[in-house]
Amino acid sequence: MHKVQWLSVITTISLAVVGGTNAAIAYSFTRLIESNNTFSGFGAPVINNQGTVVFQGFTGGGEVIFASQNGSLIPLADTKGAFSEVVAGDLDLNDRGTVAFRAQLKTGGSGIFTSNGGTVIPVATSSNAFDLGAFPAINRQGAIAYTQGAFPGSEQVFVNSRGVTTVIPASGRSLLSGPDINDRGTVVFAASLDGTTTNFGLFRFQDGQTALVAQAGQGFSGIGAPRINGAGTIVFNGANNNGYSIYRVQDGRVEKVIATTDGVFNYVTQADLNNRGKVAFLGAIPFQGFGIYTGADPLSDKVIAPGDILEGQRVTSVSFSGRGLNNVGQIAFTAQLSDGVRAVFLANPEAIPEPSAMPGKVLAIMGLGWLRMRKARATRR
């Protein structure tokens, strides 16, 4: 386990005081795999609630999808057989350890597949390499949401559950994002309302009905991939003339969570949301680049960012998939270090005690030390 060296332990404590909350969050970091003679790099990882991390490894001769579980690396799929490419970033992982991914076929087509370390199972295939859309999503029950349609206006959202495929009603329009699905089977996706890219909305499919839950003009004029948690709360990336923001849809309300116009970020993207309502995202700060954050404060809400020291090396860049946060608060990401190493890391949250309790704890530690010193002196007598 490795800890990021930001500005020493004193800085971590001061952030807890400034934040004024019951507990701040620090992180310890575990390196899962690094670039070497076999792997030149890695795709942004995904994580489930058991802490299993899945990612793509790139070699000189192909690609491999791995699961990192309890210190072991388990191969799930590769390009040695029928696949010519396992598409970078097109991964999702459920709590039973099944990964859903998109792959290009050596025969010229494409497909959506699943794997849990055993047989690779096709969910949908097409002879058209561009027919099946990016970013399939899978829930705990194994239901998979994906898009299909090679041309704007012909795309539709599908759900495959236990081998039965359902077309989501009213999804046959220009899609602007891949879908997401929660464990209740609710699906969310962004799509055009009239075939244009200026009039669009965020849709929710639940209990056989498709509903519009947010629409351009409610503070945003551009939209990115949505994420939905178990309670049905949705987050998505939105853009307008004033910048970029992360929005939350909850109880019928649309509200900004993070706005570039309100702080130091000049770009925010790849938002993810867990069942506790915590958000993690990529945020760019001028002259620094993209880091991973969990809130609007670039200091107290920072997980990792360029310039931080990790394993004795300076971080030069990080990547985050938008599916790298779990319900425990663990965050999976890739980083490039100043020595040229690329690696997949797992950030593990560690609560810092409430600031008001710290003086008492310090005094207790000092008192314990004084008693031990006094006992030692008595023994020498």
* Amino acid residing at 6: W
CA distance 188 to 224: 12
The pLDDT, as a whole number, for residue 107 is 87
Confidence at residue 4, expressed as pLDDT on a 0 to 100 scale = 40
pLDDT at 348: 97
Amino acid at site 69: Q
**Rounded to an integer, what distance in angstroms lies between the CA atom of residue 330 and that of residue 344?**
13
Cα Dmax for the chain: 91
The CA–CA distances, whole Å, from 62 to 57, 113, 128 equal 9, 18, 21
Structure confidence by residue, pLDDT tens digits, 48-67: 999 999 999 988 778 999 99
Return the structure tokens found at 138: 């899978």
Please provide residue 371's backbone torsions phi and psi, each rounded to the nearest 5 degrees.
-65, -40
Rounded to the nearest 5 degrees, what angle is found at the Cα of 336, between the Cα atoms of 335 and 339? 140
Sequence-distant (≥ 6) Cβ neighbours of residue 328 within 8 angstroms? 49, 51, 349
Query: Would you say 149 and 189 are in contact if contact means Cβ atoms under 8 Å apart?
Result: no
Q: Domain 34-333 adopts which CATH fold?
A: Methylamine Dehydrogenase; Chain H (2.130.10)
pTM of the prediction? Answer: 0.84
Question: In this structure, is the dihedral angle defined by the CA atoms of residues 333, 334, 335 and 341, taken in order, positive or negative?
Answer: positive
Rounded to whole angstroms, the Cα distance separating 71 from 155 reads 40
Contact (CB, 8 A) for 52 and 75: no
DSSP code for 60: T
Q: 139: buried, middle or exposed (CB in 10 Å: 19+, 13-18, 0-12)?
A: buried
pLDDT at residue 258 in the model: 85
| Low-confidence residues of the chain: pLDDT under 70 | 1-24, 88, 129-130, 150-154, 170-173, 195-198, 261-262, 351-381
Q: Quick check: 6 and 308 in contact, CB under 8 A?
A: yes
